[in-house]
Structure 1
């Protein structure tokens, strides 16, 4: 009987400790649908890429690294198939983190939505699993990193004034 009580007390203590570890943590960043400033970044044969200029920002928990975060959306002209769910999507929202000083970028989140804007899949990457890559020189990716870092530099300069 005492061992059952001991196990119950231990279980309660462990569960309460878990709750305290989660206090203050936020879930994944939501896709910006309000207060956005979507700007056409470029058009490819299969899709258009739009960037939310308002989402270009730093986050407090990554202040030391001085990362820049940004949301973009690829609007496909034809249905695409998500390899995991096998569902069709037309919109692919992606959040990226950029280390401007090094010119490196990593994917943070991706959400695929159908033509009615209903989410069919979402994949978030925890910070400890971010895989930064350096885009090839003079590529679409390198230009993207340069432009986002320029927007962030302008926002930082304006905040100092």
Structure 2
């Protein structure tokens, strides 16, 4: 009669082989766990670096927006200053034209007067108040008459 097959527990060789296989699998499982842990740590490190990079990118984006805003402000200020300077120059040019016109009118008024002193003084006194008022509105003061004629000088800034 045939002997009954040996059970797993009854065969020491099978137990040793199985124990060796289980040991190998345990070692491989340990290695895989170690690898997965290192990958997870690496992933955590990558995740942290990724978050830091995203923060840096966000900050750079904000900085760029602020720079764009400043550039816009500078351009606007430059345009306003340019308009202001053009307006100021137009005012100065208009004042110069008015002064030249007033000086011309005053010269004509003097040349229209007769050579007699009394009439000349009378004619000048007729024109002088209007001319002096116009000059004072422009911030100008008359200079005392010199040998080459009557001149006007600026008393303030233009």
Give TM-score, length-normalised by structure 1: 0.29
Could you say which structure has the larger radius of gyration?
A: 2
Higher relative contact order (CA 8 A, sep 6+): 1
**Larger proportion of helix:** 2
Specify which structure has the higher proportion of strand: 1
Q: State TM-score, norm by structure 2.
A: 0.29
